[in-house]
Amino acid sequence: MSHVEEKTNGSIQFTHFPSSQAAPAGGLLDAVNTGVLDMALIGPAYHSEKLTLNSLIALPGLYDSAEEGSAALQSVMSEGPLREEFTEAGVVPIFSLVSPPYQVLLKDKQVGLPSEWSGLDIRTSGTTQAMTARALGASAVSLAGPEVYMGLERGRVEGVFFPLSSVGAYNLQEVVDHISSNGSFGGYSYALVINQKTFENLSQEERSAMLEAGEEISTALAKALDESTAGLLEEWRDQGINTFQFTDEELQSLDSAVADVKGDWVKRISSHDPRAAEALQAFESAVSNVSLNGNR
């Protein structure tokens, strides 16, 4: 907000309503669409009925870092089906961001090749993560976030796909012995959106300033998230937790094992939106371009 105010010399100013004061997480998109709010930072996963294509971020093996994934998502938000889904909902994305890819946390043993996942009970969140676990030979177990600690402690599950930035909030580092650091088991996205009519009523200079600020903030936030994750891994190593990396051979085998998850996602989403394959291809191409440009 301060960045935009500075860039527009105060012609745009904000009143901020933190901590769901204006609307709950699941109501933010409607609040912006109806004009109750002008802007909001939303999680598309909370609005899957309207932002179905954007659920692709939960697919495994799409990107290797928040910086890489966010740069790719920013590029495909300029045009194409992922952007169209927002505008069809009456909002314009100012910037998008992804979390570092989810890792696997394990209680008793480190895993690598898919054969080593066989029979493991893995806590998953959502359909796509459950498909990922099953593709690796594990069993998918649904547990609410607050139940994961007890599930691991009591042996209800032997592992969990989780964003490392949220591990501390649930104290999961107390009940696991192994945490991967270079896996890619899906992710989570965020988008700062503005009411479409409100955006169109801004001057060209104000719109440009807002989008420019969004690009800068997305890049800075993604870098900060990656650096924070690196710091957490170092902290857990000091506590005696085995933070491990999959070998190149293991990563290739894991990618092969979960390849069908993408096809299943396209098939499932295409029954609601025929643009699913186009959206996935656009994002994967954008990730390749980011990697080729050395921005990983």
152: Cβ–Cβ under 8 A, 6 or more apart, which residues? 105, 107, 123, 158, 160, 172, 175, 176
In which band, very low, low, confident or very high, does the pLDDT at 293 lie, cut at 50, 70 and 90? low
219: helix, coil or strand?
Answer: helix
The per-residue pLDDT of the chain, averaged, comes to 95
Residue 234 CB burial class (10 angstroms; 0-12, 13-18, ≥19): exposed
What is the pLDDT at residue 255?
94
Report helix, strand and coil shares of the chain as percent, to nearest 5: 55, 15, 35
User: Which is higher by pLDDT, 146 or 292?
Assistant: 146
Q: What is the pLDDT of residues 155-187, one digit of tens each?
A: 999 999 999 988 999 999 999 999 999 999 999
Q: Which residue has the tokens 């089906």?
A: 81
Q: What is the mean pLDDT of residues 64-76?
A: 96
User: Which is higher by pLDDT, 180 or 296?
Assistant: 180
In which band, very low, low, confident or very high, does the pLDDT at 291 lie, cut at 50, 70 and 90? low
pLDDT at 295 over 60: no
| Rounded distance between C-alpha atoms, residue 277 and residue 294, angstroms | 26
Residue 4 CB burial class (10 angstroms; 0-12, 13-18, ≥19): buried
In the Cβ-directed half-sphere of 181, how many Cα atoms lie within 13 Å?
18
pLDDT at 128 over 90: yes
Q: What is the pLDDT of residues 75-113, one digit of tens each?
A: 999 999 999 999 999 999 999 999 999 999 999 999 999
User: Which is higher by pLDDT, 291 or 295?
Assistant: 291
Q: What is the mean pLDDT of residues 144-152?
A: 93
In which band, very low, low, confident or very high, does the pLDDT at 292 lie, cut at 50, 70 and 90? low
Q: What is the pLDDT of residues 193-233, one digit of tens each?
A: 999 999 999 999 999 999 999 999 999 999 999 999 999 99
Tokens describing residue 194: 């503005």
What's the whole-model pTM score? Answer: 0.92
Rg of the chain, C-alpha, whole Å: 20
Nearest alpha-carbon partner for 244 in 105, 100, 99, 69: 105
CA distances from 123 to 85, 279, 292 (A): 30, 28, 34
184: Cβ–Cβ under 8 A, 6 or more apart, which residues? 60, 61, 62, 63, 64, 101, 102
What DSSP state is assigned to residue 193? E
